[in-house]
Structure formats: C-alpha cells, structure tokens
A and B are shown apart, each in its own frame.
Chain A
Amino acid sequence: MIGRSLLRLLPQIVSLLALIGLVSVFFPTFLQIDFSDGRLVGPMIDIVKRGAPVALLAVGMTLVIATRGIDLSVGTVMAICGAAAAWAVSSGYGTVPSLILALLVGLAAGLWNGILVSVIGIQPIVATLILMTAGRGIAQLITEGRILTFSDPDFATIGSGTLFGVPFPVVLWLLTGIGFALMMRWTALGLLIESVGINRRASALIGINARVLLIAVYMASGLCAAIAGLVVTADIRGADANNAGLWLELDAILAVVIGGNSLLGGRFSITASILGAMIIQTIDTGILLAGFPSEYNLVIKAVLVLTILVVQSPNLSAQWLWARQALARRRALRDEAAPQSGPRMTERPVPESEVSR
C-alpha cells in the first residue's frame, strides 16, 4: 500500500529533488537551515512558508478537479475572506469571531459555486468565472478600495507566527492537507468523488448523491481558499483587495496538474498536489535567490514547468519504456552473439536487422 502510493508520488518527488539540486548549484547555502530567535530560518523554510497559499488552494482544487470541475474563483475568494477578516478585526469583533467569519464567507462562496454547478448545471469553468470576476469587486466594497490594515497580533500570528519553530502557515497547510487526505482515504468519500468525476450519471444511478457531493466539494475548495486568504492577509497585516490571491487560481491548477492529477476528473492525490505546489514555490524562490534580472523570472519558470510536465508525460513515459525494453533486447542479443569476449569488448553498434531478429 505504502509502496504503491510512493510509486505514484515518485515523479513529483524526483522533480522536487532535481529542482532543489538545481537551485543549490546557483545558491550553495540553499539547504542550510538555522534555528534563531525560536524559529527555523533558511531558504527551504521560506519555500514551505511561501508555498502555503498555493498548497492550501491545491488541496481544495484537487477535490474539485477530481469531480471533473474546476474552481477559478479561489483567488478572489481569498481576497474576499481576507477583506472580511481584516474588516471584522479592525472593527473590533475580536480575533476568533473574525476568523470564523472569514471561513464562513469562504464556505458561502463555495456554496454559491456548488449550486451554480450542480443544481443549475452551469459548466464549472463559467460558473466559477462569475465569482472570479465579481469577487474582487466584493472585496473592494469591503475594504472601500484601500489596503485595510490592522494591528491585531493574534491574527498576524497566522501569517508570520511560529509553532515550535515551524512557521504557522506551514502548520496550517500540513493540517489541512492531512485532514482532507485522511477524510478522503479513511472513508469512502474519496472513492465517491472519483466515481462522480468519472461518470456523474452512473454514480447517481448507483445511489451516490452527486448533487450534494459536488456542492460539498466546492465548499471544501472555498474553505481552503478562505484559510489561504487568512494566511496572506495576516502575512502583510492588511487586506489588499486588488492583489491578494491574484492569479493564484492558475498556480493552484498548475500544482494539481504537476501533481499528476487529470483535469478530466477521476483518481486524485492530495499529497501529489501539495508536492506540486512545493515544486512551483521552489521554482519561484529559487529564481529570487539566484538573482537573475526580473525579466527572466517568468521565462525560467515556464521552461522549468514545461520540463517537469514533459518528463511526467504519460505518452513520453510509454516511449521511454519502449526504448528501454528495446535497449535491453539489444543487449541480450549482443551478449548472445559474443559470450566469450564479455560485454565490454563488444561495444559496436548493432545493426537494426540484428535487433529485429
């Protein structure tokens, strides 16, 4: 069981390790982690901390994509929830009620998306596009177009505090990821989501309440977006309605895809998506640390992402498998042809005709 899931995660783990190796070439102290002022400090810590918003979004996005949907609104939901929390905190409602309010707003946004998709039957990409475009306006209404700052130390802890030296955002995405993964795999929920993603009608016919399941999945995505929104808002101690979560929905989708999940729904792996998010953040932070001029940032990112996706491509891996088998056959033939002289002496190109025989 564990071996099988490791095999599933192998491409992501290998990509991540390769990237870390690559960045270490440009920035030698990349893997160095110090402990100072009661907190862990180091580039790797920065990566897991900065990757928190995308990792959180990727958790929710994985579930949505597993149902053959997509949630484009997560970036703006982040902005709305951050704005709502900042507004509540700065109007003196206290930290905990503000956080609960933000999470409820996230759930409400998910409910809206879920109803549009599953009850009204709008295509997910369009249904969530509605909130994606309108949401930033809602967030701006809450903040009145300004960057709404607050000075609540407890709220700020979510973004920049630590728990046993570990940055709090990391704790958050770890808990969220583990929580959702356990919920999916210890119960039949994951299986039901996969079956709805593969064939909604058939799932409905065998008695799965696809409608409620879809709404729940979008609400989960909204909840993850709300947590991510809290993280970025707490991080800068202010709600920036214009820029919070801007384009992060695309990074989240990318993380899910790098995680090897199919956009056509079906089988999914939350762990792989989170690894995908970490891969993206390693690229981002690596570019910053390497000190290239900013004009190269996006080009470098695109090339690396493309390379990773090409290496993971199922079509290419089939070719690779075939090539390896062909090579093995050729070697076997060669060994048969000259068994006395040993393999080292026979390193001549074997003609095609020999191979085909």
Chain B
Amino acid sequence: MSRAISKVGTTSLFDSLVSLPCRNRYNGQQNHHLKGWRIAAILLRTAMELAARRPRRGRRDQIAKRLVTKFYREENMLKTLMMTAAVVALGTASAGAETVGFSQIGSESGWRAAETTLTRQQAEERGIDLKFSDAQQKQENQIAAIRSFVAQGVDAILIAPVVATGWDSVLEEAKEAEIPVVLLDRQIDGSDDLYLTAVGSDLVHEGSVAGEWLANEVGDGECRIVELQGTTGSSPAIDRANGFRKALEGKDNLEIVRSQTGDFTRSGGKEVMESFLQAENGGSGICALYAHNDDMALGAIQAIKEAGLNPGTDIKIVAIDAVPDYFQAMANGEANATVELTPNMAGPAFDALEKYWADGTAPEKFIQTESKLYTQSDDPQGEYEARKDLGY
C-alpha cells in the first residue's frame, strides 16, 4: 500500500494521513512521501486554502492568494510558511483596529524587556492591535516574522534589527505590499527608502549630556575623572566616549585620567574601579566617575564603598541608561546623575505612524528620542517605583 501511494505525485490529505504508519521495507529507500514534515506541509496547505477562501479585504486577499500559489511552487519555504499559516489564521480573526507587527530582537537584556513591555503598553493605550514576535537574537527569525506580517497584511511593521545588514530583499517585499516599516533603536545599512523612519537615541548626544552635567556640577574646580568604558569596539562605547569628550572640550580643569573597559557588566565595573582606586592613591585623586552604563556604575559604587569612600559625595558618579537599580542608588545618595536611554521607542514610532495613516505625511528618516538627564533632585525613589516593573 505504501508503495502505491509513494508513486502518486500529489497525495490527498487523507491518503497521507492513512499512510503515515507505513514503512517501505522492501526497497530499502526512505519513502519521501511519508516524512513527518510532508504531513505538516499538507496540513498547512489545507489550512491556508481554507484561510484564503474566506472573504476579506482586497489587499490581504491578494497577498494570501499569491502566497498559496507560491507555496505550491516552493515547498522548501516551509519554515516561513509555517509562521505565515499561523498568522494568516490569526489575522482573519481581527478586523477594525490598526494592526502592527513588532519583531523584537529577543530578551538579551533588561532594557530590551522594558522596551517590549512599553511597546505593548503603548499599543494598548492607542487601541492598536500588536502582533509580537521574538526573534531570539536570530536574523532569519526576524525575516520570517516580517514575511508573515506582510502575508497577514498588517498596517505597519516595527522592527528592532538584530544586525545592520541583509534586510534589503525582505524590506523590499514589505514595500511592495505598501506596508510602512519603522526601525526601533538600531539602524540598518542600506537605502533609507526601504523604511518609513527610524526611531533611536543619539549615543554621542547621551555622552555629551553626561559631560555637560559634570562640567556644570564641577564648575571651575580641578577634577580628575575616571571613565568606565563599555565593551571595547562596540558602538555605544565609542560614541558615548566621544560625546563625553566633546562636552569637556576647552575645559582644562576637567581631565580624564584613567579609562578602561568594564564590559558593560557590574562585576567588570567593580573590578576596574578597584584598580582605579588603587592606582589613584586609594581614590583620593579621583573627583568623578563617568560610566558608559548604569550597571558598571553600580558595580563601581560597591568598590568605592568597600574602599571606605562615599560614592556620590567623595566621588561624583554619572552614568547612562537610567535603570531602576541606579535610581535606587541615587535615592540613597550614592550616585549623582544618569542620562536616560528611553525604552519607549514605540511611542514616537506610533505617533509617526498615526500621522502617516491619517494623511500620508512621511516623517523624517530619523526620530531622535530625548536623552533626559535625571539627578538626585528628580525624585529618584518615584522613578524607581515607576520603572521596577517594566522588566529591566
């Protein structure tokens, strides 16, 4: 029986299911028609046919039909289409509200988790139907997610690209389907007419906000600054270092005496700060610390405390990111200032999209989020309470 079926080119769903337990034991060859993925493909195809038959809005209908025909041709696109089928089925359920697909990189850090939480909150507040896809740090997952969003006919796509290259063809598909794409937080290499706009912070600006705060705080006094850099060679480390130095230009009383990488981690910050303290006469030669992120500063605060000094008063501390634990440190008087890298990238993105949906006005190609400075006078305890549940 199985042999007979294997010779039939296109089996029906029923036949495939029936033949599932059979094995072709006689000619020693694997019977390709009986493999599990084939069954899955046939199930999917049926599901898609059902979905495509449903009456829906024009564009979606076209795209779904095109995909169905495409599927008959290229069955090896199974991975993409599995997701597609799932979202097509979902997509038929909702109508009315604007639908936005969001392809998030993954949950690499607390900041990402907060970004996801805030994006969901923003969408809910505006009555936008958000379809969330977690790419688990893989570009192919993001591409598959975008294709499925296109197939689903969403009204816009938000994407936090995991890498800068390799987006041309998939964004071209979105463009053909007339779906606006907004990049969150990170940029891509390639022509900027592939996306509507990019929302992000200016890393150089963040560094200079921190530098300006320190320059104002110190005034005319002498100040020897130590710097905890991010991972060597990473763009935040380079840009935040440059921005800070730009703010200090022409101020000869401020001097960066030591600069080392703490790898953006708490333990790195603590270890490097210990060596800074050793190298600068037990810390008496240091007036301020600039850390490229809050976590390193938090590690450094512990090192300063263990060396018997008072962080925040003996050594002024300014960092970037504005994570909840740092607000706690500011509330305790152990840290002085931080520059916020807002995880609310979706807010400005939705603002731009709502304008675009309303009358087609295209926003500028780069929307810079505010790099807000928080100091001890900005109710750090309240900020901590507001942020601690965002998933940082």
Contact = CB atoms under 8 A, between A and B. Distances in A.
Given A237-B302, A291-B279, A295-B232, A145 B274 contact: no
A217 interface: no
B299 A236 contact: yes
A146 B110 contact: yes
Contacts of A133: none
A24 interface: no
Interface in A9-60: 27, 36-37, 41-43, 46, 50
A137 to B, nearest CB: 10
Name the residue in B270, B278, B308 with the highest tally of chain A Cβ atoms < 10 Å from its Cβ.
B278
Given A146-B113, A289-B275, A294-B260, A37 B308 contact: yes
A194 interface: no
A70 interface: no
Given A240-B266, A294-B229, A46 B110 contact: no
A236 B259 contact: no
B246 to A, nearest CB: 19
Nearest to A37: B308
B189 interface: no
B271 interface: yes
Contacts of A160: 302, 306
Contacts of B272: 288
A147 B268 CA distance: 14
A290 to B, nearest CB: 9
A240 B267 contact: yes
Contacts of B266: 147, 236, 238, 240, 243
Interface in A120-148: 140, 145-147
B278 A43 contact: yes
Name the residue in B108, B233, B275 with the highest tally of chain A Cβ atoms < 10 Å from its Cβ.
B275
Contacts of B107: 140, 145
Contact of B278 (A42, A235, A238, A242): A42
Contacts of B274: 46, 50
B285 interface: no
B109 interface: yes
Chain B binding surface SS class: helix
B9 to A, nearest CB: 42
A27 B232 CA distance: 23
Interface in B91-138: 107-110, 113
A232 interface: yes
B108 to A, nearest CB: 7
Contact of B259 (A50, A235, A294): A294
A42 B299 CA distance: 19
Interface string A223-243: 000000000100111101011
Contact of A240 (B229, B258, B265): B265
Name the residue in B258, B261, B266, B298 with the highest tally of chain A Cβ atoms < 10 Å from its Cβ.
B266
B271 A50 contact: yes
B392 A146 contact: yes
A43 B271 CA distance: 12
B263 interface: yes
Interface residues of B, number: 36
B278 A289 contact: yes
A291 B267 contact: no
A90 interface: no
A297 interface: yes
A342 interface: no
B308 A46 contact: no
A41 B306 CA distance: 10
Nearest to B263: A243
Nearest to A245: B267
Contacts of B278: 42-43, 46, 289
B325 interface: yes
Interface in B255-301: 258-261, 263, 265-268, 270-272, 274-276, 278-279, 282, 295, 298-299
A107 interface: no
A277 interface: no
A236 B325 contact: no
A43 B274 CA distance: 9
A149 B388 CA distance: 12
A140 B110 CA distance: 11
B347 interface: no
Contacts of A339: none
Interface string A309-328: 00000000000000000000
B270 A27 contact: no
B325 A288 contact: no
B391 interface: yes
Contacts of B268: 243
Contacts of A291: 258, 260, 279
Nearest to A244: B267
B232 A297 contact: yes
A285 interface: yes
A293 interface: yes
Nearest to A29: B278
B110 A243 contact: no
A160 B259 CA distance: 24
Contacts of A36: 308
Nearest to B269: A236
A293 B237 CA distance: 13
A244 B110 CA distance: 15
Nearest to B307: A41
Nearest to A42: B278
A160 B299 CA distance: 12
Interface of B: 107-110, 113, 229, 232-233, 258-261, 263, 265-268, 270-272, 274-276, 278-279, 282, 295, 298-299, 302, 306-308, 325, 391-392
Interface of A: 27, 36-37, 41-43, 46, 50, 140, 145-147, 149, 160, 232, 235-238, 240, 242-244, 285, 288-289, 291, 293-295, 297
23 contacts: A27-B279, A41-B282, A43-B275, A46-B275, A50-B271, A50-B274, A140-B107, A146-B391, A146-B392, A147-B295, A235-B302, A236-B299, A238-B325, A240-B295, A242-B265, A288-B275, A289-B279, A291-B260, A294-B229, A294-B259, A294-B260, A294-B261, A297-B261
| A-B CB proximity, top 7 nearest | A288-B275, A294-B261, A243-B265, A236-B266, A294-B232, A145-B107, A146-B110
